[in-house]
Amino acid sequence: MMRSFRLFLWLCRFLALFLLFSDHAVGAVQRGFVNLGFESPVISSAAPCRASIGFELIPGWVTDHPLDTQNISCPPGYTGPPYSGNARIIELWRGPRSVSSGQGETLRISV
């Protein structure tokens, strides 16, 4: 019994040292902010314009929004990318509701 307890202690020490000095113990740390004003991707040069697009297309942002259809609602003559298919969407706006960059997002939070 005592021998198995000593073996257990050695294994715990080994595991602690392994985790302390291995690369697995290093966590990802974000040292700055990316795309705070939703400048990227540019959804349109014309206003008003609204795009519901997948968060994978918006650098620096993640959502757990349920899957929904990507779409874009812009004035005639829109020449941007055709957003289609299902994704976890973030809705971007260009126009009167947007911020200093001319393009923004309305953040909705649910608990």
DSSP string of 15-28, one letter each residue = HHHHHHHSGGGPPP
The answer as to whether 81 is a domain residue is: yes
The answer as to whether 17 is a domain residue is: no
Choose the weakest-confidence range: 18-22, 38-42, 98-102. Answer: 98-102
The string of DSSP codes covering 52-70 is EEEGGGSTT----PPEEE-
Mean pLDDT, rounded, for 4-21: 82
99 pLDDT tier (thresholds 50, 70, 90) = low
Question: Which pLDDT score, from 0 to 100, does residue 111 have?
Answer: 47
Radius of gyration of the chain measured on its C-alpha atoms: 24
The answer as to whether 62 is a domain residue is: yes
CB contact at 8 A, 70 and 89: yes
**Distance in angstroms (rounded) separating the CA atoms of residues 6 and 1:** 9
**Distance in angstroms (rounded) separating the CA atoms of residues 80 and 102:** 16
The answer as to whether 2 is a domain residue is: no
The answer as to whether 4 is a domain residue is: no
Helices marked H in 22-57 — which ranges?
none
Asked whether residue 34 carries a pLDDT value surpassing 60, the answer given is yes
Q: Which domain holds residue 95?
A: 49-105
Instruction: Count the neighbouring beta carbons within 10 Å of the beta carbon of residue 28.
Output: 4
Structural domain total, the chain: 1
39: its two tokens: 């400048």
The pTM of the whole model exceeds 0.85: no
